[in-house]
Chain A
Amino acid sequence: MAPRPALSVRVQAEDFDPGRELALLTQGRRDIGALVSFVGLCRDEDGALESLELEHYPGMAESEIARVADQALERWPLQGLTIIHRFGRIPAGDRIVLVIAAARRRADAFAAAEFLMDYLKTCAPFWKKERRADGAAGDWVEAKSDDDNAAERWR
């Protein structure tokens, strides 16, 4: 019998190690043929941005990510998923989010990873506020209609 897909969802202030997470997901497994990982970073907007402050809704952040992960597990034959989303102050250049999808075949892993990121952007309760490099008051990042469209195409 195939082992149950390994699901790990974490919402944390601390950084994560993508290499370690890839290793953890495949540890002791011989049935995984494809691992697709996505790492989202805080970009500096050509030097204008010092950091992002990520606010989240504790409890709902975890449950929404788990809900989206369950949808991915229903939709594609996956061997495992790891999703980590950070909150708090994230300096430019640092990691914000990690998605790893493990499957027998790469097409499923690629599709699931992209689906998860598209849905996390529009469903997971996180909000980014900019801290500008010049010290001026930063704005809340506005949601992009592109993100809604990206999530919508999976319906």
Chain B
Amino acid sequence: MKALYFAWVRERIGLAEEEIAPPGEVVTVRQLIDWLSARGDGYAAAFANPATIRAAVDKSHAAPDAPIAAAREIAFFPPMTGG
């Protein structure tokens, strides 16, 4: 699946997007965050405070317990500041 990162999540990880292949036991957004956090210091910094992380699965807002099995695209970003 494709992972997308925006705003300071993107800056801390150092990537705007990448292909990821999490293991089968990673089934929710929250578990994916934990799995990504272990990939390196940038990821750990980006996901250090899960309360400030929002996620979207296939371009729809997703809660931490949302399933990711069928997802083609998962995005992580800070709370939105548009308008």
Contact = CB atoms under 8 A, between A and B. Distances in A.
Interface residues of B, number: 16
Interface string A33-75: 0000000100000000000001111011101100000000000
Nearest to B11: A140
A117 interface: yes
B80 A143 contact: yes
A48 B8 CA distance: 21
A143 B81 contact: yes
Interface residues of A, number: 29
30 contacts: A55-B7, A56-B82, A57-B4, A57-B56, A57-B75, A57-B77, A60-B56, A61-B82, A96-B83, A97-B82, A122-B79, A122-B80, A123-B80, A124-B80, A125-B6, A125-B77, A125-B80, A125-B82, A126-B80, A126-B82, A126-B83, A127-B77, A127-B78, A127-B80, A127-B82, A128-B81, A140-B7, A140-B78, A141-B81, A142-B81
Contacts, number: 71
A128 B4 contact: no
Interface in B65-82: 75, 77-82
Interface of A: 40, 54-57, 59-61, 63-64, 85, 96-97, 117, 120-129, 140-143, 147
